[in-house]
Amino acid sequence: MWYCNVILVCINSKLRGFAMAKTLTSESLRGVWALVPTPWDAKDHLDEQVLRQDVGYLCSAGLTGLYTTASSGEFFAMDDDEFFCLVSAVVDEARSAGVPVQVCCSAPNTRGFLRRAEYAVEAGADAIQVILPYYIQLDLEEAFAFVETAARACGDVPLVHYNTGYAKLTFEAEDYRSLKERVPTLIGTKLPRDEPLWISNVCRLVPDVSHFCGEYAFAANFAGGVRGIYSWLAVTNPRLMVRWYETCAGGDWNEAIRIQQLVNRFKLEVKTRWAGKSDAAVNKADAALNPNIHCALRVREPYRSCTEEDLDRARSWAEHNFPELLEL
Give per-residue pLDDT as tens, 211-265. 999 999 999 999 999 999 999 999 999 999 999 999 999 999 999 999 999 999 9
Calculate the CA 166 to chain-centre distance. Answer: 15
Average pLDDT of every residue of the chain? 93
Whether residue 73 lies inside any domain: the answer is yes
Q: How many domains does the chain have?
A: 1
Report d(CA 265, CA 23) in Å as an integer. Answer: 38
Position 5 scores a pLDDT of 43
Residue range of the domain that includes 120: 2-235
pTM of the model: 0.92
pLDDT value at residue 22: 76
pLDDT of residue 267: 97
Query: Could you tell me if residue 298 is inside a domain?
Result: no
Give the CATH number, domain containing residue 83.
3.20.20.70
CA–CA gap between residue 146 and residue 122 (Å, rounded): 20
- Note the pLDDT of residue 17: 33
CA angle (278 as vertex; 273, 280 as ends), nearest 5: 110
Low-confidence residues in the chain, pLDDT < 50: 1-21
Query: Nearest-5° angle of CA 48, CA 6, CA 111?
Result: 100
Report how far residue 183's alpha carbon sits from residue 187's, in angstroms, rounded to the nearest whole number: 9
In a domain, 278, yes or no: no
